[in-house]
Amino acid sequence: MRKKEKAALIAQMLEDLFPETDVPLLHKDPYTLLIAVLLSAQCTDERVNKVSPLLFTRADTPGKMIKLEVGEIEDIIRPCGLSPAKSKAIKSLSGILLEKYQGKVPADFDALESLPGVGHKTASVVMSQAFGVPAFPVDTHIHRLAARWGLSSGKNVVQTENDLKKLFPKESWNQLHLRIIFYGRKYCPARGHIIAACPICSLFGKKT
């Protein structure tokens, strides 16, 4: 089977298994999504969703956020890990949004990636889920599954992202990356992976 044919079959299986693709991070607008994605670095979505409402009760706009001390932000987000760096980034990027973008999150990859604490993956999530711009955010989970399924031999997430973008139609990227994440959590974990219980891995026999 050619790789593109395999990719099309996998995409259909994912759509059948996960027809709904709601963003798993609680948010109400591009700014709160940006902050939630930043908090999710090396942290589970479940934990972020317990912490972010506490933060957004205090400050859910850049104008409100810059009025908080970095220490106040850090105290709230500490359960998410990396709180010293994340709190500084949150306050700093909020100030930049006010100064350069009238308090709005820019719908531009380069502008987003220039913000403190915002890398390519975070920018991709915001562009795809807040603004509907086709993007394929690849985290370590998608990187792992793409290798298991034989869709990419990329040594890093950048290479894997490029490989997946070539295999799947552009209009599918925004939903597909979420479906792969949902699938990985339910059927294809990093540890304790049971191939017989994993519909895609059992079909294609990847054991990596």
Q: Which residues are catalytic?
A: 121, 139
Distance CA 22, CA 13 (A): 18
Of residues 174, 165, 135, the one with CA closest to residue 21: 174
Rounded Cα distance, 72 and 105, in Å: 23
SS3 110: helix
- CA 119, CA 107: separation in Å to the nearest integer? 14
C-alpha of 184 from chain center: 13
Q: Which residue type is seen at 17?
A: L
Tell me the chain's radius of gyration from C-alpha atoms. 18
Cβ atoms of 126 and 34 closer than 8 Å: yes
Is residue 134 exposed (0-12), middle (13-18) or buried (19+ Cβ within 10 Å)?
Answer: middle
